[in-house]
Structure 1
């Protein structure tokens, strides 16, 4: 029987064997001696200061060939060693405190082990994610304090088991499904804008990074389908991001790309996704067979659901986009449900499936960054996540056979501007109240005389000559004589702005009243220096500027569009 076994047999509390070593500050396990111990008392009084405890332990260490009295059992009176003065037994610490120390040490070890395992698992997940270097097409990092735009690309690449037979088996992976996800700066709302794969666009030149690290510029092409912005001629997701900016004016910060397999693995990880059909479907092309009403799909059946086209609406891609949006909303609800979030098994499966399914840019290639993005998106209430499609119309070049679409030049610019200006497509009441109060406060207060207003006028997207026209009008008709033409602004703006320093607020209110500027156009900031070296405000005429003297009714409301929200269940029709 070993020492520990004997101690248990002798009914000794294991916690009693853990004592604090004053030399190291750590707890050590001291077992009772199992071999004879010296009966000669150790030297007293000659141990260096601070080493008494250690010296006594060394003196008590087992030494061969010398006898010791039998070990004292619990409850037996302690007898003095022969040749040594009798001494009182050492005062023991309460058992409760010893047990706490024992438990605390164990918990500390467990916490270290868990944190180490968590780190290793995080690195494991990171190894699942595929990254692509898109150079200057995206941002190098992610900010939790700013609005952000992520381009989600679903490719038609036939990788993965069982996917070889779908459509073009040799596809390089084109941009088949595309969603520009905009998340507002205050996280009150988000917009998921679908871009049709058959939208006719101009794909710009784009620089790509080859496998050996070399850079190669892929020439752009005009009047082609949007889906060719990826895969065609070696184009990478950075080319698709540049195409999105070319079409919408909205610049994606990052991209996330998935293929057919992702739909199967993600839906399986959450034990299926609820969908609803307005009518029964038996599609011979996608092999989707579902009854009318609610159903749950996962794996192969889920992929068939998002691929089905001929069973919805006019059997075109635009109606399929609506069905895919409904599917994504349902998947989002399932992933964020308590049933998923409280199940370690489902979370593990979801983490594995999601990371293996993703290809992202190097700017968000770390799992910790992907987690941050997910947490920021989770702050947005589902009722304020809007799904919509780029406003389009049939391409007249197709004749009677409508195969492609073009951007609706009347309706689309308003949608693009709303996204660029971080405007919600849902009624975010708290935000509206805050904005209205801030706007009202900017317009209230004293106003300077027109002759005291000093302003520099820039053209930031208005018609050519607008800055000079406005200058002439202000000086000759409104008495704003301390004004000058500053030429073109560094960049075009969707909305006209008036930037001013705090001490120029009275001047800003006067100019706003003269020009009919809304409070939202007034931007507290800093002044600049005019041609005479004096501080001046900056009026930048944006694309919304019509002509001098016409009030600007800049709106913080988004245009009316055909949309759905992530909180509602819609039946595919």
Structure 2
């Protein structure tokens, strides 16, 4: 007889036969032998052993709850009789409902887990992954990272054939190098104009070398002669000196599908827009755009400013900032329908490199970016000037008086916002205080990425020129590092400040920590010469100050004009 039939036959509520096991947290079926049951249930006993003898239970701590027992609320005694008062029927019904509901929900959750797995695999299948030797093979969650976001002008997808060049192979039409700081306090989105004149370096696509070309538009770094996103990554490095770690690429469909998936993106214009070329019509002030209208907004050239690509970049930055706010809003994150649509749209739209080529890896990227407050995500355009080689200006070149400071700031992980004021103050404080005499400075030198021989030449310079006689050169550090560091124990702060003065180290290079024991058994500071080391006696000039640059931030809407 099953549990339910048995319960009915012996006047036992089926719910009473499901017992919570406190060790597992699950409900288990416990059936008491019918021979021991009577009209008034007695204490629950263990099942008999073969031969009719019962197992003797070991004494238990009063606070312990045996796995086979259900915890019961104390039962009141009926007045004057000493008998236990029977439980109200209502309790039993409530209990039964809860138990069977719990079982149903457990089944749904288990079934849902399988469905989620299948759906995640489906989303992974939506992604297009491009293996390129110019991208890292993994994503580092504890380091600063650079992702090149490429928007192509490829006309794939329903309704896109009517935009511009129908036969485009997909050039690098919109290009943003996104730098996320190591401490996740800030990020910089650097736009690179499509009409910037550059030298595209030699690159490799599908194992085939593609020759470089000189004095051409940046957008030809993709698509032209079969170039892939790895070629665009190389071009970015050649122009800015910044190495992209990964890339994400999308075409026209991405703007249409993502804006629709989130229910529209809010944009703002200072005057009414009616552009017959892009078919964009908007009233003055704020509007919500999606689908075709969103694509028209980011593509229009004639509605704003001087009707050129540089003004269009500002409009695109406004759109992306607004889209980021909408995607991270509670309205989107708590709406299952929007989240599903967004997941479908995003994965179908993206082509990525092998280092971030799965949903789990993209999730890691998103979670790291989510740590950055929108007010500290800066949008900036590469400073340019009109191409002096042209009489009719159609292209631009890098402004060598302004651009290097921005490139250096990104390379050195310096924020374009004010998020590092406290850190700069702390770094400055490390350089304030008493200095030891050079003869008292005790330090061990290691090469951690500086040019070969740097530790040896620096040791010779310190001893023969600067009087730092208690110094040793101990070869290579365990691993290379981007920046030079000087680690010291608290009682060596005066020595650290003196050595920083001698070598031109910034306060950020000083790392309070521990010293090590040198060859004489005495405590010594640890100086690791990083990749930023320029040579003995040459101050490290990595800028700690953000350049003065025209920028916007992701938390604010700036009306296009």
Offset at 1:52?
9.7
Equivalent residues in 2 for 1:529-548, closer than 5 Å: 538=527, 540=529
Counterpart Cα distance in 2 of 1:408 and 1:110: 61
- Do residues 162 (structure 1) and 159 (structure 2) align? yes
User: SS of 1:117's equivalent?
Assistant: helix
SS, match of residue 339 in structure 1: helix
Does structure 2 retain, via aligned residues, the 8 Å contact 1:156–1:173? yes
| Aligned partner of residue 107 in structure 2, secondary structure | helix
**Deviations along 1:311-356, whole A, 9 cap, x unmatched?**
2211111111011000111111111122222222111111111111
Deviates more, 1:279-288 or 1:551-560: 551-560
Residues 10 and 289 of structure 1, relative CA distance in 2, 3 Å threshold: farther
Structure 1 counterpart of 2:219, from 223, 227, 238: 227
CA, structure 1 residues 486+203, in 2 after alignment: closer, same or farther (shift >3 Å)?
farther
In structure 1, distance between residues paired with 2:221 and 2:407: 20
Contact 1:15-1:99 within 8 A present in 2 as well: no
Per the alignment, residue 212 of structure 1 pairs with none
Paired residue for 1:570? 558
Distance in 2 of aligned mates of 1:411 and 1:323: 22
Deviation at 1:110, TM superposition (A): 2.3
Matched with 1:513 is 501
Partner of 2:190: 193
Of 379, 386, 389 in structure 1, the residue corresponding to residue 371 of structure 2 is 379
8 Å Cα contact 1:457/1:471 also seen in 2: no
Alpha carbons 2:237, 2:243 under 8 Å: kept: yes
TM-score (ref. length: structure 1): 0.75
How far did 1:307 drift? Answer: 0.5
C-alpha displacement of 1:271: 1.6
Is 1:319 matched with 2:311?
yes
- In the other structure, the counterpart of 2:411 is 420
Q: Distance in 2 between matches of 1:485 and 1:47?
A: 77
Q: Distance in 1 between matches of 2:266 and 2:178?
A: 22
Aligned-residue offset at 1:536 = 8.4
Stretches of structure 2 lacking an aligned partner (at least 5 in a row): 22-26, 35-46, 56-86
- Among 48, 51, 70, the alignment partner of 2:50 is 48
Matched, 1:148 2:141: no
RMSD between superposed Cα atoms in Å: 4.7
Q: Sort the Cα spacing of 1:554 and 1:235 in 2 relative to 1 into closer, same or farther, 3 A.
A: closer
Q: Secondary structure at the match of 1:274?
A: strand
Residues 1:242 and 1:46: Cα distance change in structure 2 (over 3 Å) = closer
Alpha-carbon spacing, 1:433–1:5, altered in 2? closer, same or farther (3 Å): closer
1:421–1:12 Cα change, 3 Å: farther
Aligned residue for 1:369?
361
Q: Deviations over 1:515-559 (max 9, x none)?
A: 5533123356999999x9x988657598797995x9767542211
Deviation at 1:193, TM superposition (A): 0.6
Q: 1:433 to 1:49 in 2, by over 3 A?
A: farther
Q: Name the CA distance, whole Å, in 2 between partners of 1:473 and 1:7.
A: 91
**Kept after mapping to 1: 8 A contact 2:154/2:252:** yes
Query: Is 1:411 the equivalent of 2:402?
Result: yes
Q: Aligned pair in 2 of structure 1 residues 471, 314: CA closer, same or farther (>3 Å)?
A: farther
- State the alpha-carbon separation in 1 of the partners of residues 356 and 14 from structure 2: 49
8 Å Cα contact 2:317/2:379 also seen in 1: yes
Query: Alpha-carbon deviation of 1:15?
Result: 3.4
Query: What does residue 73 of structure 2 align with?
Result: none
Which residue matches 1:111?
109
1:216 aligned residue: 208
Give the equivalent residue in structure 2 for 1:440. 429
Does structure 2 retain, via aligned residues, the 8 Å contact 1:17–1:29?
no
Q: How many residues align?
A: 506
C-alpha separation in 2, matches of 1:27 and 1:207: 65
Structure exhibiting the larger radius of gyration computed from Cα positions: 1
- Residue pair 2:433, 2:494 contacting (<8 A) in 1 also: no
- The offset of 1:292, in angstroms, is 1.6
CA distance 1:397–1:143, shift in 2 (3 Å)? same
Structure 1 contact 257–359 (Cα < 8 Å) conserved: yes
3-state DSSP of counterpart to 1:375: helix
**Contact 2:15 2:99 (C-alpha < 8 Å) held by counterparts:** no
Task: Give the corresponding residue for 2:118.
Answer: 120
Deviation at 1:437, TM superposition (A): 2.3
CA–CA distance in structure 1, aligned partners of residues 243 and 134 of structure 2: 9
Tell me whether 1:262 sits opposite 2:254 in the alignment: yes
- Which residue is equivalent to 1:83? none
CA spacing shift, 1:291–1:175, aligned 2, 3 Å = same
Query: 1:36-90, CA deviations, whole angstroms, 9 ceiling, x for partnerless residues?
Result: xxxxxxxxx997269999xxxxxxxxxxxxxxxxxxxxxxxxxxxxxxxxxxxxx
Please show how residues 553-568 of structure 1 align to structure 2 within 5 Å.
555-568=543-556
Compared CA separation, residues 29 and 551, structure 1 to 2 (3 A): same
Structure 1 position 27, deviation (Å)? 3.1
Q: Distance in 1 between matches of 2:272 and 2:235?
A: 38
**What residue number does 2:80 align with?**
none
Q: TM-score, normalised by structure 2?
A: 0.76
- Give the superposition deviation at 1:513: 2.6
Distance 2:534 2:546 in 1: 18
Contact persistence 1:178–1:197 (CA under 8 A):
yes
Q: In the alignment, does 2:4 pair up with 1:15?
A: no
SS in 1 for 2:178: strand
| 2:232 counterpart of 1:243 | no
What secondary structure does 1:323 align onto?
helix
**Residue ranges of structure 1 left out of the alignment (5+ in a row):** 33-44, 54-90, 210-214
* Pairwise CA distance, 1:173: 0.6
Is 1:344 the equivalent of 2:336? yes
Aligned partner of 2:388 in structure 1 is 396
Give the Cα–Cα distance (whole angstroms) in 1 for the partners of residues 223 and 315 of structure 2: 25
Distance 1:331 1:515 in 2: 47
